[in-house]
Amino acid sequence: MAFRAADYERFTGERTRTPAWWPLWRATFRRGWRSKWVKMFVLGGLGMSLAVTIMLYFVQEVVPEWRETLERLGEQAGGNGPNLVFDSRIYLILLHWFIYPFLMPLSVLLGYDLIAGDLRGNALESYFSRPITPAGYVFGRTLAFTSFLLMATLLPLLWIWCFDVFTAPAGHYQRVKSVPLGLTASLGLTALTLALFVQALTTITRSGIWTALVVVILFVLSGMLGPILYEVTNEPTMLAAAFWENIWVVSNGMLGSPEETARHAPFGLSLSIFLAISGVSLVVLLRRIKRQAVIG
Amino acid sequence: MPTDDSAPTRDSVLELSDLEVRYGRFRALRGVSARFQGGALGLLGPNGAGKSSMLRAVLGLLKPAGGRISVFGQDARKAGPLLRRRIGYMPERDSHIVGISGVSAMAHMAEICGLRPSDAMLRAHDVLHFVGLGEERYREVDTYSVGMRQRYKLAAALVHDPDLLILDEPTNGLDPQGRVRMLRLIEKVQTDHGIHLVFASHLLPDVERLCDQVWVLDKGELRKADTVSNLTAAARGAKRVRLGPSADGGAAFAAAARAAGLEAQDQGSSEWTLSHPEEIVESRQVFALAKTSGARVLGIKPAARSLEDAFLEALETGVH
């Protein structure tokens, strides 16, 4: 490294007009890569997409009869309709393969110390004495958090879709053309909700371990509560007490899947719960941050 | 009020007009109006006087309940974030990003103030060298000592090259050597590079060394705003007299002065301050007293007050 004089010098370079949240986005995104666990989960997602791609290659290129066989089996097994047809329903299943083993653990791994760390180090006072507002801070952090989650889940799924479309027989595109939009919408909403929820939680617990525990406990407890309430009342709306049920219903609705929904919570209710969790988390986040940095 | 509110405000670095800050029902600042034209301003006051509240209000971290704050002629609330590119703030409490190296955190803070990533990193290295943390810049700030963290905070306040530097108790927790080092750094930045300084401290010698103007706050009110030279100037024509060695240390001289209706205060080392509540103490009067008491006068000069005297007087009398 070049020798640098230990004296103060005025800055004579140019200043950019970049919004103040942009460096925060970059820093948050880079921070995600530093964790070996995060890297493992991202690589796991890529590995999963590779495995599905190889499977698709065999089904569609090497042994084309496999596809027809699988579809026939699906029709026979489903009774009411095709269950293994390579349409949006398959993508709904694939989506959940990425949500539970990758998106949810990543949201805890990425978010557990994101704002809690800034609270512990009192970094907010330094941030807000600079040209960034609490809203800009939350925006930059959440955007980076959500982008990272989508990079690890949506990109592999889109890759699978592209491979599927390019290798499938003619006419297949028509059946799955709305899938990318549905995947983006459902994963985007799930990732955003989780990002806001985990960040809001860290402003309360201020501890990574507690945040992770609370997320797991809430998920498991809500997952038990929903079916119990449904059994007691026989009312499908009660299933909305389970977080996983809402993820299923919302992604199902956004993918336009032909899934029977009689034994599921209504789409509108599940979507409202997602939006309510996001909204309340955002309010909590902004209030706690402003209070911490004494912004009145 | 100590300032003339009708004067033009274009060149003011910082101007407060009837500023009021509240925490619920508690009024942390009550109708403070003052103007800082530039240079180095010391913000003095006992704990809870409202110094930090004032600084936070200037930075927009606190929303004033009333009044107006103008920085470089711009309304602080309207100019908001862009104005903060021109301000460097060193908070009293520790403030750092956990889990990353000092230089990375510093560069990140510079980028937020509008520096390009490459410039920000270069500048981060430079300011860390300047404050003497060049060797430690790749360590996480969490592992720094108290003195290093104070210097790190100063570097973070300087990394985007502000025009106004606001320091809140920068010498807190430092040992004497660290304190001197910190004051030298601040002095260098202020005098060599013309960066305006607002320096909040309850350590009067630090303020006296660095600042040319002082605002004294107490219980949320501005008690005094003046230059340091005015505050420490000769008080009511008093004289400081240095006497030659004598067996009584000048006691006879002091007795003669008191008999003549003067106040005589022992300053130690055979030095005495002679004053009169209404009249100027003349040199010939001093020589006459020396003659009658048998003392030998080695020197006479106008008696200056320390900033501490002025500060205590401002707090006691509440003079505006």
**DSSP annotation string for B163-227:** SEEEEESTTTT--HHHHHHHHHHHHHHHHHH--EEEEEES-HHHHHHH-SEEEEEETTEEEEEEE
Where in chain B are the domains?
Answer: 1-86+162-227, 96-160, 234-304
Distance CA A85, CA A175 (A): 10
Nearest chain B residue to A8 by CA: give it.
B130
Closest Cα in chain B, distance from residue A214 (Å): 23
- For tokens 């630090």, name the residue: B206
Fold of B234-304: Alpha-Beta Plaits (3.30.70)
Q: What are the angstrom distances between the C-alpha of A83 and each of A72, A87, A89, B175?
A: 9, 9, 8, 75
Note whether B99 contacts A113, CB cutoff 8 Å. Answer: yes
CATH of domain B1-86+162-227: 3.40.50.300
Question: A244 is written with which tokens?
Answer: 């996983």
Distance CA A239, CA A35 (A): 36
CB B70 within 8 A of CB A94: no
Note whether A122 contacts B89, CB cutoff 8 Å. Answer: no
CB B98 within 8 A of CB B90: no
Note whether A129 contacts B97, CB cutoff 8 Å. Answer: no
pTM > 0.90: yes or no: no
Distance CA B255, CA B259 (A): 6
Coil, strand or helix at B60: coil
Note whether A123 contacts B84, CB cutoff 8 Å. Answer: no
* Contacts with A133 from chain B: Cβ below 8 Å: 80-81
Closest Cα in chain B, distance from residue A45 (Å): 26
* Contacts with A121 from chain B: Cβ below 8 Å: 94-98, 141-142
Strand order from edge to edge, sheet including B14-23: B26-36, B14-23, B66-71, B74-75
How does pLDDT run along chain B (320 residues), one tens digit per residue? Answer: 344 443 444 568 999 999 999 988 899 999 999 999 999 999 998 888 899 899 989 988 888 999 999 999 998 888 878 889 999 999 988 999 988 899 999 999 999 999 999 999 999 999 999 999 999 999 999 999 999 999 999 999 999 999 999 999 999 889 999 999 999 999 999 999 989 999 998 888 899 889 999 999 999 999 989 888 777 765 667 778 888 887 777 888 888 888 888 887 777 777 888 877 777 777 888 888 888 888 888 888 777 777 777 777 777 765 44
Alpha carbons within 13 A on the beta-carbon side of A227 = 5
**ipTM of predicted assembly, 2 dp:** 0.83
Helices (H) and strands (E) in chain B, counts: 11, 14
